[in-house]
């Protein structure tokens, strides 16, 4: 009687596991086909279909059948160990072991199929979440895009300005400044010589020329000091 019950449960489990495996295969192929069809990331992969509910229902039914078959195997083991039953009956032990192996195979197959299904569903949920975030980003207002564009332009301006301030160009700037100052000094000397000539020709204007020369000398000292400080700062920054 126990063997009859075990075989009946095994037949039911075999049919359930075949249907369960087909459901998982169909779920995987459906998701793959939908991913290929909507490769433009415009439609989520998961829609809460009835396949998820069918999976949960079938998983519970198979677990119940496995529990019943485990109970039958335990009863058969108790029967073989009960009084009045030959403990060395090879046929009995072989039958019990075969039913245990079948139960182990069914349990392993169930857990493997269930794990694969859960892995596929978790992956699809993750992909669906990523696609949702991408769609939210794409459908965002143009303000963010405008801000990003402005930031990029500002960064480009700063980069060009930094290139123009290349430290290697500071010595050439200093040399050009020095040449310009030398030219201005020559012009000032020429003007001074002309003013001295005028002063010698017109002694009455000599005092006025002297005052002009004093102010000019003072201005020259101030200008020379400013130019010298700027040149030193440029050289320090260039070789820092």
For residue 97, is it within any domain? yes
Domain assignment of residue 22, given as a range? 1-31+44-135
pTM for the predicted model, two decimal places: 0.47
Q: What is the CATH number of the domain that holds 15?
A: 1.20.58
As for how many domains the chain has, the answer is 1
Residue 168 lies in a domain: no
pLDDT for 41: 43
- Examine residue 7 and state whether it is found in any structural domain, yes or no: yes
Those residues whose C-beta lies under 8 Å from the C-beta of residue 20, and which sit 6 or more positions away, are 55, 58, 59, 62, 110, 113
Going from the first residue of the chain to its last (240 residues), give the mean pLDDT of each consecutive group of 10, the final group possibly shorter: 89 89 76 49 47 84 91 86 62 84 90 86 75 62 65 78 58 73 84 75 68 85 89 85
For position 25, what pLDDT does the model report? 82
CB 17 within 8 A of CB 110: yes
The first and second tokens of residue 237, run together, are 């920054």
At which residue do the structure tokens 């000032």 appear? 188
User: So what's the pLDDT on residue 165?
Assistant: 57
In a domain, 155, yes or no: no
């Amino acid at each position: 009687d126990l063997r009859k019950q075990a075989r009946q449960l095994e037949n039911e489990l075999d049919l359930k596991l075949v249907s369960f495996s087909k459901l998982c295969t169909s779920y995987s192929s459906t998701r793959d086909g939908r991913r290929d069809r909507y490769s433009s990331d415009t439609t989520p992969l998961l829609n809460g279909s009835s396949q998820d509910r069918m999976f949960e229902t079938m998983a519970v039914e198979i677990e119940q059948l496995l529990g019943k078959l485990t109970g039958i195997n335990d009863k058969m083991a108790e029967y073989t160990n009960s009084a009045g039953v030959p403990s060395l009956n090879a046929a009995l032990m072989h039958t019990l072991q075969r039913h245990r192996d079948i139960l182990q195979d069914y349990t392993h197959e169930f857990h493997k199929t269930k794990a694969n299904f859960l892995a596929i569903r978790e992956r699809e949920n993750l992909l669906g979440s990523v696609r949702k975030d991408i769609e939210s980003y794409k459908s965002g207002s143009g303000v963010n895009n405008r801000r990003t564009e402005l930031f990029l332009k500002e960064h480009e301006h700063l980069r060009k300005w930094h290139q123009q301030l290349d430290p290697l160009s500071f010595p050439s700037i200093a040399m050009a400044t020095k040449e310009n100052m030398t030219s201005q000094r020559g012009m000032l000397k020429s003007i001074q010589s002309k003013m001295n000539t005028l002063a010698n020709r017109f002694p009455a204007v000599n005092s006025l020329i002297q005052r002009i020369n004093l102010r000019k000398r003072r201005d020259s000292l101030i200008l020379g000091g400013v130019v010298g400080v700027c040149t030193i700062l440029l050289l320090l920054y260039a070789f820092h």
